[in-house]
Amino acid sequence: MSGNLKRSLHALGAKTTYEKSLLKATYHGDNDPPKEKHVQTVLWTLQGQNMQTPPEVAFSLLTQQLLTSSWATLLKAFIILHRGIEQVGTGYSARLAELNISMQNFNDPSERGSAHNQIIQDYYVFIRSKALNHSRKGSIMLVQQTDLHKSIEKMSDTDLIKEIGYLLTELQNLVKLGPSLSQAIRNYQLRVTQNAAFLVLKDATPLYRVISLVLDRMVDRFFALDRQMAEIAMEHYKRFETCTRMLSQFFELAHHLPFSGLSPPTFVNRPREIVASMRSYISDQPEHVPGTEKAPDIPEDLHMSPSELEEQRRMLEEYERQHNKRVEEEKKRNPPPPSQSKQEVPAKQDDDLIFQEIVPPSATKTDPKADFVMSAFNQPATNPGNPNDPNAMMNPMMNPMMNPMMNPMMTGMMMNPMMNPMMNPFMTGMMMNPMVNPMMTGMMMNPAMQTGQPAVKSNLDPLSQPVGNAVPDKKNNPFNRASTGANPYGPPKNQGGYPVNAGSSLDNLFTQPAPQRSANPFETSNPAPNPFGGPSPQASNPFGTQQPKGNAPRDPFSDLI
């Protein structure tokens, strides 16, 4: 409630509904993501559905929130901009791609701001690259899923390589967010950071699948390309392999997010012979000889020459090496337990780094308790009879000497009391010691089974009672407090106590009318009958046993003496 009050005070000077929702959605005083109702109000206004605020004014007010020094306001504004790319339309995406605000020098000196400075810089670059791919004319991202294969087949070689370049730029900017987001989420666990990471990972799967389809088509056409186009295609292929490996590591962050529905794409480990074949084909192509024929120029819409693409790929690989180096240094400062330590793999260079095996992210979390339980059944076989066996005492669950249930024929019968007739009287009819089971002997413990003597009925022996009433004698019932007129657990009689009805049956316990007490105004003198009550005492005895009368006190244990 205090957070909502602070947001309301922050938006107190808003003139329109859109401004109020925008100020509340980008409030810098908390670490929560913007509320859905405020985000939808902003996006509806950008679509032109708010007659009070035009879309141009709404976009201008939203971009003004980027001119701040608060990392929380910027990250929340980026979340709204990110969600509007696919929801608002291509005109909005084009305006966002042309946005000229520099974020490379952003610096928030606060503690949490310093952990999010790199996230702010990389997130802004990724949003602009995605907006460009969703606003370009002829972009493959604007094609429906059902027409995707047909659109790829219709592309020319130049358009195909150009489309791969745009898509790989977006994927490259996406995977660069992985290290900074992972570090911030593991250290602070802020909900707004988790929301941003969820949106980024949600875009990664469809983007990777589209690039994989276009790249496979490029490989099929590779050996029909000229030399310059083939060099560009080979650099695109190397960049894709590097981004694939980094994206696989990025999806490990999904286990630390409180959201569901994030499924990584299927990562394919392509053989390195593909690049070797590409290099062999390029080397066999004739080079341009100056003065004879003019070499075909690289189309301007490709933007980058083979040398520029190679330099960009090397920068991406260097970025990955530096990140792996920081991770190794952190592991050295905080070494894991010996049980979790793994063999270090030396860093690979050049093509070995590109075609390093891609490890898919783990689908489920491992349960250490389940591993501990299952480890008991994975121990080597033991020989309990051999005292020199080192594994005899390692696994108590698989050792018959320690687990009596594993060995029905035990050398020591005292190990399992349930299998020992001396301890379990119901296992044998010929008892070794009849004193152990008083129910099986009539000469010592049970007077009712003695021969030549009249059976003495006991108040505590159910076999000596007549059928139909286990305890017919009210005055001999040791659990009947009302028979003696004393209440050992409550106040004395006639002093506000609640006496318990006498008798051997509890059917009428809740059917007796309560005593008149004027202190309780909610009780009536004539309570309604209990529909769940039992029958009357006369009808509750079908065998007609007569209840003894008399109130003379008697020792209930006198029959046992």
Residue 180 · residue 123 · CB < 8 Å: no
What digits encode the pLDDT tens for the residues 6-62?
A: 999 999 999 999 999 999 999 999 999 999 999 999 999 999 999 999 999 999 999
- Whole-model pTM? 0.60
- Considering only residues 374 and 95, tell me which one the structure prediction assigns the higher pLDDT: 95
**Helix (DSSP H) and strand (DSSP E) numbers for the chain:** 16, 0
* pLDDT of 476 strictly over 90: no
- CB 120, CB 128: distance < 8 Å: no
CA distance 265 to 211: 12
Taking alpha carbons only, the member of 339, 394, 343 closest to residue 366 is: 339
pLDDT band at 380 (very low <50, low <70, confident <90, very high): low
* Planar angle of CA 337, 342, 343, nearest 5 degrees: 135
Question: 177-188 vs 191-220: helix axis angle to the nearest 10?
Answer: 160
| CA pair distance 85, 139, nearest whole angstrom | 14
Amino acid residing at 119: I
- Which residue shows structure tokens 């190397």? 238
Question: Which residue from 538, 542, 539 is spatially nearest to 469, judged by alpha carbons?
Answer: 542
CA pair distance 35, 207, nearest whole angstrom: 27
**pLDDT of the residue at 488:** 46
Q: Report the chain's terminal Cα–Cα distance, integer Å.
A: 73
Contacts of 426-430 with CB under 8 Å at 24 or more apart are none
Question: For residues 321 and 327, what is the distance between their CA atoms, to the nearest angstrom?
Answer: 10
In this structure, are residues 76 and 42 in contact, taking their beta carbons and an 8 Å threshold?
Answer: no
Q: Which of 42, 117, 136 is nearest to 82 (CA)?
A: 42
| Confidence tier at 423 by pLDDT (50, 70, 90) | low
Q: What confidence tens digit (pLDDT) does each residue in 506-555 have?
A: 444 444 454 454 454 444 445 555 545 445 444 444 444 444 444 555 55
Query: Roughly what angle, to the nearest 10 degrees, separates helices 273-284 and 227-250?
Result: 160
Contact 535, 507 (CB under 8 A): yes
CA–CA dist 267, 414 (Å, integer): 60
Quote the radius of gyration of the chain (alpha carbons, Å).
Answer: 42
Of the pLDDT bands very low, low, confident and very high (cuts 50, 70, 90), residue 214 is very high
